[in-house]
Amino acid sequence: MKLLRVGAKGAEKPAILDAEGVARDLSGVVTDIGGETLTPEGLARIRAVDIGVLPKLDGNQRIGPCVANVGKFICVGLNYADHAAETGAAIPSEPILFMKATSAIIGPNDDVVIPKNSIKPDWEVELGVVIGRQARYVEEKDALEHVAGYCVVNDLSERHFQTERGGQWVKGKSADTFGPIGPWLVTRDEVADPQNLGMWLEVDGHRYQDGSTRTMIFGVAHLVSYISHFMSLQPGDIITTGTPPGVGMGIKPEPVWLKAGNVMRLGVEGLGEQRQNVKAWQG
């Protein structure tokens, strides 16, 4: 299933795409796409519905974040061998974890705003993993059973804040609008192998990132298991799993940073595409 949320900010309706790609209103079936809806029981309720009888939604409406009320937004750093190489970093021996503020979350096509005092804003196309069943100390062989589905994430970063202002990475990752997710949450049964998905990102039509989840250092199952040994994972939590090479900070001979007026397009195979206009901070 391809689940999404359609409508104005704060007034999104839960929806599902039919076989023709038309969004159908799920608000008579579930309250929203998040939390209990993403459990095996919640997804079973949606699967039991005849999609063809659900009301059609206006295809011109805004698409909101594909998951509502995200509890934790967990990020994995330097998780692609080729990306680690372009940054000059060593291959991690264990996953590098950090958090992204949930207030950064926006819809897949909403405007991205460069934060005040930003010097080095950057892009990162990533595979997002949405949890559907509580995970605590799970074994890797069982980890994917705790996944509801997958989505596209643009893990936007302010590199100056992230690496030159001291402390942890979270403050370079958490500006408002720095977490576009969606357009869809694609349920796990429709993704045959999360470790074999092409992914790409363009700025103003120039393709900077063109990679694959095949080059992940730590795969999805390992990450879910690993993280569950440090914190419980709850339905609706998101893990964004790292980015392939081609980020702005890695461009040679000089880095390329986002600026107002840029247009980003990005996607992950089978999970849809995002498009964001980049705007300047208006204080």
Tally of CA atoms within 13 A in the half-sphere of 61 that contains its CB: 21
Q: Give me the residue label for tokens 């600026």.
A: 259
Q: Give me the residue label for tokens 């705790």.
A: 146
134-150 pLDDT, tens digit per residue, is 999 999 999 999 999 99
Distance from chain centroid for Cα 112: 14
Residue ranges of the domains in the chain?
2-53, 73-279
Residue 136 has a pLDDT of 98
Could you tell me the fold of the domain covering 73-279? Answer: Fumarylacetoacetate hydrolase; domain 2 (3.90.850)
Encoded amino acid at 268, one letter: V
Residue 169 has a pLDDT of 86
pLDDT tens for the chain, 283 residues long, are 999 999 999 999 999 999 999 999 999 999 999 999 999 999 999 999 999 999 999 989 999 999 999 999 999 998 998 777 777 778 889 999 999 999 999 999 999 999 999 999 999 999 999 999 999 999 999 999 999 999 999 999 999 999 888 878 899 999 999 999 999 999 999 999 999 999 999 999 999 999 999 999 999 999 999 999 999 999 999 999 999 999 999 998 999 999 999 999 999 999 999 999 999 999 8
Tokens standing for 213? 């989840």
Neighbour tally for 272: CB within 10 Å: 21
Residue 167 has a pLDDT of 79
Residue 47 has a pLDDT of 97
- pTM for this structure? 0.96
Residue 53 has a pLDDT of 96
Q: How far is 108 from 111, CA to CA, in rounded Å?
A: 9
Residue 6 has a pLDDT of 98
Neighbour tally for 48: CB within 10 Å: 8
Is the N-terminal amide bond of 180 cis, ω within 30° of 0? Answer: no
Strand segments (E) across the chain: 2-6, 13-17, 23-25, 73-77, 96-99, 105-106, 112-113, 121-122, 125-131, 147-154, 157-158, 179-180, 185-187, 198-203, 206-212, 238-240, 263-268, 272-279
Q: Give residues with Cβ within 8 angstroms of 241, minimum separation 6.
A: 76, 79, 126, 127, 128, 129, 213, 216, 220, 223
197-231 pLDDT, tens digit per residue, is 999 999 999 999 999 999 999 999 999 999 999 99
Residue 85 has a pLDDT of 75
Residue 20 has a pLDDT of 95
Residue 131 has a pLDDT of 98
In this structure, the dihedral spanned by the alpha carbons of residues 224, 230, 231 and 233, taken in order and rounded to 10 degrees, is 10
Task: Tell me the CA distances in angstroms from 223 to 34, 97, 179, one per residue in order.
Answer: 21, 10, 20
Residue 84 has a pLDDT of 75
Q: Give the pairing of strands 125-131 and 121-122.
A: unpaired
Residue 40 has a pLDDT of 98
